[in-house]
Amino acid sequence: MLDLLTSYPWPVALCYMLTVMVLMRLSNTLPFKVSAIEEMRQWNRREDAPKRKKPKYPPVMKQNGQVGSFISLLLILIVAPSVLTLESMAWWRFLTDIVCVLLVYDFIYYFTHRFLFHGELLKRVHGLHHQARDISYIDAHYVHPLETFIGLMIYVVSITAVSLSFDGLHVVAAAFAFVIWSQINTINHTKFNLDRFPYKTINYLTTKHAIHHQNMNMGNYSSITPLFDKLFGTLD
């Protein structure tokens, strides 16, 4: 046991955990210093308030949070030390790796979402999330625990694939990719109405996902970018 503890790559695990925590903290605070973004948050809070009072929301969100926390712990303790590195890399390599992780994730998620979540196999599981027709912030977390598990496992597969393909993936790049994916997935479910620079991209993404929630048979299956919906003809 002592040998295991002394040989375990603690620096990688700790660096990944701390980087994610810092980035999450920054991304959950700094954007709201902008008054326009803060207005959007207050709008979502007003929309969320009556939903939080519904009996169905708290237990699902609690279970979802528990599953997410458990998988995240395994990710920190087992996956990160196995596939990530602390070796120094050029700045362009950091950026390339982040983009590659996000694209690999969205590619896998697109087909998972389209053919599993909207197919016969997991349609009822995903249907829980689609009970929300008029979505707001809280609905990003109103998800079946199995769907949360699958989403996190796709991330694990993505960082592993990029690490194996490019002879290593820096722990900081993986942390950035995780936070970007997590935040975009949340933002997609928010009410957002700022159709001007520099908010047009966010406005576009939220509009497309709102359309997706209105009907289980609608397109817009991607999570991060509309790229794969455009490529496979499902952009609605």
Q: Is the dihedral of CA 198, 202, 204, 210 positive or negative?
A: negative
The domains of the chain are located at: 59-231
Structure tokens that stand for 112 in this block: 């998972």
Q: Give bridge partners of residue 84 from the DSSP assignment.
A: 169
Q: Is the pLDDT of residue 197 over 70?
A: yes
Q: Is the pLDDT of residue 59 over 90?
A: yes
pLDDT value at position 68? 92
**Quick one: DSSP state of residue 119?**
S
Half-sphere exposure (CA, 13 Å, Cβ side) for 21? 9
pLDDT value at position 6? 65
Per-residue confidence at 87, pLDDT binned at 50, 70, 90? very high
pLDDT value at position 3? 58
Whole-number percent of the chain with pLDDT over 90:
86
The 10s digit of each residue's pLDDT in 3-43 is: 555 678 889 999 999 999 999 999 999 999 999 999 999 99
pLDDT value at position 128? 92
Q: What is the pTM of this model?
A: 0.94
pLDDT value at position 218? 79
The 10 Å Cβ neighbour count of residue 142 is 20
The 10s digit of each residue's pLDDT in 124-141 is: 999 999 999 899 999 999
Half-sphere exposure (CA, 13 Å, Cβ side) for 210? 15
pLDDT value at position 2? 55
Per-residue confidence at 98, pLDDT binned at 50, 70, 90? very high
pLDDT value at position 29? 96
Whole-number percent of the chain with pLDDT over 70:
97
pLDDT value at position 4? 52
What's the Cα-to-Cα distance from 166 to each of 2, 97, 160, 179, rounded to whole Å? 33, 9, 10, 21
